[in-house]
Amino acid sequence: MQYRTVGRTGIKVSSLCFGTMSFGGNADKETSKAMFKRTREAGINFFDCANMYSNGEAEEILGECISDCRDEIVLTSKVFFPTGKDVNAGGLSRRHIMLEVERSLSRLKTDRIDFYFVHKFDATTPIEETLRALDDLQRQGKIIYPAVSNFAAWQIAKALGISAKEQLARFELIQPMYNLVKRQAEVEILPLAESEQMGVITYSPLGGGLLTGKYGVNRKPSEGRIVDQENYTKRYGAQLNFEVAERFTAYAHEHEVHPATLAVAWVMAHPSVTAPIIGARNVEQLEYSLAALDIDMTSKWRDEISGLSITPPPATDRTEEAL
């Protein structure tokens, strides 16, 4: 296993992070523990979680898994999405963050979370309030670093500016979606991360299952997240995505690599990505993503694979001059 430093933090993490969104959901406790064991055997020390995964059960299970190795694990959790029906049971207010961090710590059975993510932008709470709450949590030792997911680049840049001006702990790690059919991060997020020396862990390297070989132009499995979950059907349902999946699967077979392995390796090879976050519902699925660790992705290979999907346009229309 290769270990990489997260941005400018000094924390070293495995080049794959394991996501626990399936824990307590489509992976029961026994399967979740088996996956955890397998990832540890592979050398993974980095685990992604969130307060809302399986209504807190993912944190409970992960807490049990890490009970005898907590100090060797780099742990994340997240806050934003509603955890109840109450009008204040969500968002990035100081009130909600302070309440939720205690609940996460208790479910994870630990006294600190290494990277604590704000899960989504909250347009109704001033970002100063959120940043000050995170800064207080860092001073209290309950979180080691604030981190950010699903924000636009301008929102992250604005937050970094406020943190610098107010001398508050800044976001040190970004978690965007990134895979062969969702490449928006290439335009602004990944260049921002490089410019500001931030770590990047990207989620959904397989497009929620789209890039595993089981989807194509006229092919869908009878069960799977993209057919079973409405938000994923919406996210990946465009015909073009299935065309890319078809081309990508053919390319992977031609090169005698499992599509899931190749899809993770493609994400991993981006120079700004610290680690892709892999996800699975059982150990068998997990093996194909872990196999990405053994792929030597040349730049020629990466370019060819990138050519199978649409490269997003640059962030400015004025691109004709060299300088």
- Which residue ranges make up the site for ligand NAP (CB under 6 A)? 19-22, 48, 119, 149-150, 175, 203-209, 212, 214, 224-225, 260, 277-281, 285, 288-289
Cβ closest to ligand NAP, residue 204 vs residue 274: 204
Indicate the residue among 95 and 220 with the shorter CB distance to ligand NAP. Answer: 220
To ligand NAP, the closest distance from the beta carbon of 19 in angstroms equals: 2
Amino acid at 263: A
| CA-closest candidate to residue 148, choices 43, 162, 226 | 162
* Residue 51 · residue 100 · CB < 8 Å: yes
* In contact, 44 and 276? CB cutoff 8 Å: no
Q: Are strands 12-14 and 173-175 parallel, antiparallel or unpaired?
A: unpaired
Residue reference for tokens 């872990």: 290
Residue 53 designated active-site:
yes
Which CB atom, from 7 or from 176, has the smaller least distance to ligand NAP? 176
Q: Which is nearer to ligand NAP, 285 or 309 (CB)?
A: 285
Element (H, E) at 95: helix 94-108
CB contact at 8 A, 192 and 198: yes
Nearer to ligand NAP, 131 or 211 (CB): 211
Nearest approach, Cβ of 79 to ligand NAP (angstroms)? 11
CB of 291 to ligand NAP, least distance (A): 9
**Residue 243 half-sphere exposure, CB side, CA atoms within 13 Å?**
7
Task: Kindly tell me the number of DSSP H helices and DSSP E strands found in the chain.
Answer: 12, 10
Of 3, 53, 178, 288, catalytic: 53
Looking at residue 93, what DSSP letter applies?
Answer: -
Structure-block tokens of residue 89: 């049971």
Shorter beta-carbon distance to ligand NAP: residue 136 or 183? 183
H or E stretch at 37: helix 29-41
Place of tokens 């109704």: 124
13 in helix, strand or coil? Answer: strand
Least distance to ligand NAP from the beta carbon of 122, Å? 14
Shortest distance in whole angstroms from residue 150 CB to ligand NAP: 5
- Tell me the β-bridge partners of 200: 174
Min dist. Cβ of residue 233 to ligand NAP (A): 12
Among all residues, which ones are annotated catalytic?
Answer: 53
